Amino acid sequence: MSTVKQSGVTSHDYATPFRPRPIALANDVGRVLARVGVRPARFTVDGLVAAARKKSGLQRFDDEAFREPLAMLLDSVEREAALTPLGRFITGSRIVGVLCNRLRAQALFERHPQILDEPITAPLFIVGLQRTGTTMLHRLLAADPGLRALLSWEALNPAPLTRRPWHRRDPRMRTAEVAERALAYLAPDFFAIHPVEAHAPEEEVILLDYSFLSTVAEATLHVPSYAAWLERQDQTPAYAYLKKLLQLLQWQNRKERWLLKTPHHLEWLDTLFAVFPDAKIIQTHRDPLKTLASFCSMIAHGRGVFSDAVDPLEVGAHWAKKTQRMVGRALATRERLGDASFIDVSYYDLMNDPMAEVARIYEFAGRPLSADVKSRMAATRQENPQNKHGKHSYQLADFGLAKDQIEPGYAAYRARFQIRRE
């Protein structure tokens, strides 16, 4: 644990997470209390559900199929995650928040059944391995006022919070702004890797996590048994609930078409098409050895928020295997379905001439690209320059990985899309 932050370039000392001094002291107090027998109760499904019902004042879920995956997650957290006292508090609070949102959403579905008649027509999904330009492309396309992106403050609370007379704006915005500042305080390096901004587009993997069937947990915590269990599960409940949440959000703010993005979909394209049969997929590509090193750095920095026990070698081994599985499953799906619903975007072409790639995407989507939209996209590019929050530094060796060791796992993927080596 380090209480000194070096500015400008992200740290490579992943096993020694940065910890603001007040947070380090609070964690120390929590550990001392635990040693003398004053420790928080173990997480249980019943306990967290009861807390959510009490906090929300609501009782009914649409169904309780989430109980099994939540139980698997909690068991893994208790046995494997090695949470700090703060990490435990954040984890419990987040899960209770997810359950509260399910309760609030169900109350709205019952009060306004027409929500579930909202059509989700030809949604655009940006998929690709992490660190392949998906965030840059997502924000660029989201500048189109006709495309409906999921904003971070909506992802945290898809169902509206009670708006009091003194609220000048949606209270969900304030909640997300506080979360943004908290993350920047706890892990300033993280923003140089992946900025999490309250009013910016966010990944719908957060909505998939409302079923506790997503990669959010393994991306933020050391939960290998849960991650292994997750790979064997049917993702249909998560995608079906994702659709319901998109309907709920669309009912609140309707635009012409959804624009979504998360690498999670690479493993589950069959399920995605079963729930969204007219989806259009924008798949991004970059040298997987480069993206793996970058993503492992992101994972290690993120896990440091929750635990002092971050093992970069474990991070590298887990995500090398995981990303190879992701591209392998995506390749298999495309072999079965064909390429009609896909467009491929090279990271290198996107960096070299973003608007040329945007024009290709709009032609693929059958959407006109107006001068006004081009102007808005140009403004977005100026507002989000590379290294806006600092320089991200990383290398494969930090995670115990060598090119020759892992290259064979990506060989078919590299050959299929003619991905160059960086």
Question: What is the pLDDT, as a whole number, of residue 388?
Answer: 67
285 within domain boundaries: yes
What letter would DSSP give residue 125?
E
Return the closest-CA partner of residue 367 out of 265, 282, 273. Answer: 282
Question: What is the pLDDT, as a whole number, of residue 87?
Answer: 96
What CATH number is associated with residue 373? 3.40.50.300
Return the closest-CA partner of residue 219 out of 184, 269, 264. Answer: 264
101 within domain boundaries: yes
Integer Cα distance of 203 and 152 in angstroms: 8
Integer Cα distance of 61 and 288 in angstroms: 41
299 within domain boundaries: yes
**Number of folded domains that form the chain:** 1
12 within domain boundaries: no
Question: What is the pLDDT, as a whole number, of residue 1?
Answer: 58
Q: Are 92 and 43 a contacting pair, CB within 8 Å?
A: yes
Half-sphere exposure at residue 269, Cβ-oriented, CA atoms within 13 angstroms: 29
Q: What are the per-10-residue average pLDDT scores of the chain (422 residues)?
A: 61 89 90 84 96 97 96 98 96 97 98 98 97 94 98 96 82 94 88 86 97 96 98 97 98 97 97 98 97 93 94 97 97 96 98 97 97 96 74 91 95 96 91
422 within domain boundaries: no
9 within domain boundaries: no
Q: Is the four-CA dihedral 209, 214, 219, 223 of positive or negative sign?
A: positive
287 within domain boundaries: yes
SS3 193: helix
Return the closest-CA partner of residue 256 out of 141, 348, 175. Answer: 141
Query: Residue 409 CB: number of other CB atoms within 10 A?
Result: 17
410 within domain boundaries: yes
Integer Cα distance of 164 and 316 in angstroms: 47
Residues forming beta bridges with residue 258, ordered by sequence position: 148
pTM to 2 decimal places: 0.94
Domain that holds residue 66: 21-417
